[in-house]
Amino acid sequence: MFWVSRPEAVDLATAVQTTFQFREDGLVKTYTSMVRLALSLGVCLMAVPRVASAQPAPPYTEEHVIILIDRSGSMVAPRLNGETRFQAALKRARDYVETVSTLPRHIAVWSFEGTSYIRHQAFSTSATTTLNTLNSLGVGQGVTPLAFSACAAVDELKSYRTTVLGRKKLRLSSDGLENSSPVGTQCQGGESVGGYPNLDPGSWQWKVLNKLRTGDATNPNPVPTFIQVIADIDFFTTYITDFNGSHSGAYEWSEKGEPTWSPVALPVEGPAVRYLGGLSSATGGRFSLALDNAPAPVFGDTNQDGCVNITDYDLVMANFGLTVPPGNRLADVNGDGLVDYSDYTVVVANWGLGGRCALPQPVRE
């Protein structure tokens, strides 16, 4: 029987050695190895119970991702640490690009604002190119054509490299819901009166969900030949009040040049959060809530309790070597469909990060 012990201290920046323990027939053998060096050499260091070698390889050969970032005016709203929502969204995108993935990634960068979207970068396998593109983006002041942009991104993903089996993913960062998609476009529609999952047929929420799952905005029924698009969503929000000069906030400007301000609160358990969280869950993706008065989410914090710690480590180890599904998708930290060393290294690298790590942490019994 083999397993990996939790690293008691890890400092990848200074290449501190990490201890692993192997037990076999009651004997304990300890050896040290440098995680980063071994990974760079492609060395398989060890095995764990229900190890990957006994599992089938993931069916996909590539991962195709569109990073879709909201550039609407409300994204200039300040967060707890003084950065704007837009700056936090860019950081999350950069962190994603820098995570190690088992599958080769082809990443495109889009943004939306006003009544349309912009393709800033075509699909590229170069992390450097993508990071440079993200660093070049600036926030706008328009409104939010979320439905129009998301559904166009699905079409782009569908048509990209159709001769290979690519895992399709939409990574959306936004702080609002649909309010400006052009009339007559495929996913434009009224607001659903029913909350998720009881969405009104014909509403924009219903159409976007269908588009991600079936490739057709008007068809809610699964299509066997369609590869479902995974939706990973970062939602930036807080409780919003009417702007009367005493509350910080941000105007968005309509295409007619008219200022708009949302007087509606977006509570943590409100319909917007339930819908976007449901959208992620229904497509096998991940939803992260980024409140303005709390630190931004951190990759490796699998249960989103605000700290990368033993709980996250244990989840990754419990699913180590499994494809997703049947493995727990939360353990697939980098979202490439396989729980492996790539996910382990993200947890190790971000160990102790998160706004709640100063609080008492769980310990293994």
Longest dimension (CA), the chain: 75
Contact 231/279 with Cβ under 8 angstroms? yes
pLDDT score, position 364: 60
CA pseudo-torsion sign 193, 170, 139, 123: negative
Contact 303/328 with Cβ under 8 angstroms? no
Distance (Å, rounded) from C-alpha 362 to C-alpha 86? Answer: 33
Contact 210/189 with Cβ under 8 angstroms? no
Beta strand pairing call for 18-24 and 27-33: antiparallel
The dihedral over CA atoms of 55, 56, 60, 62, expressed in degrees to the nearest 10, equals 60
pLDDT score, position 25: 34
Q: How far is CA 339 from the centre of its chain?
A: 16
> Going from the N-terminus, what domains does the chain have, and what CATH number goes with each?
12-47+300-349 (no CATH), 62-291 (3.40.50.410)
CB count in 10 Å sphere of residue 74: 26
Distance (Å, rounded) from C-alpha 86 to C-alpha 80? Answer: 13
Q: 290-317 burial string, b = 16+ CB within 10 Å, else e?
A: bbbebbbbbbbbbeebbbbbebbbbbbb
pLDDT score, position 237: 86
Global pTM?
A: 0.77
pLDDT score, position 216: 97
pLDDT score, position 225: 83
Q: Per-residue pLDDT for the chain (365 aa), expressed as one digit of tens each?
A: 334 445 544 444 333 333 333 333 333 333 333 333 333 344 333 333 344 333 444 589 999 999 999 999 999 999 988 999 999 999 999 999 999 898 999 999 999 999 999 999 999 999 999 999 999 999 998 999 999 999 999 999 999 999 999 999 999 999 988 989 999 999 999 999 999 999 999 999 999 999 999 999 999 998 888 889 999 999 998 744 333 334 444 444 444 545 444 433 344 568 888 999 999 999 999 999 898 888 888 999 998 888 999 999 999 999 999 998 899 989 999 888 899 999 999 999 999 988 778 766 566 65
pLDDT score, position 294: 82
Query: What is the DSSP secondary structure assignment for residue 6, as one 8-state letter?
Result: P
pLDDT score, position 337: 87
Nearest alpha-carbon partner for 168 in 159, 157, 160: 157
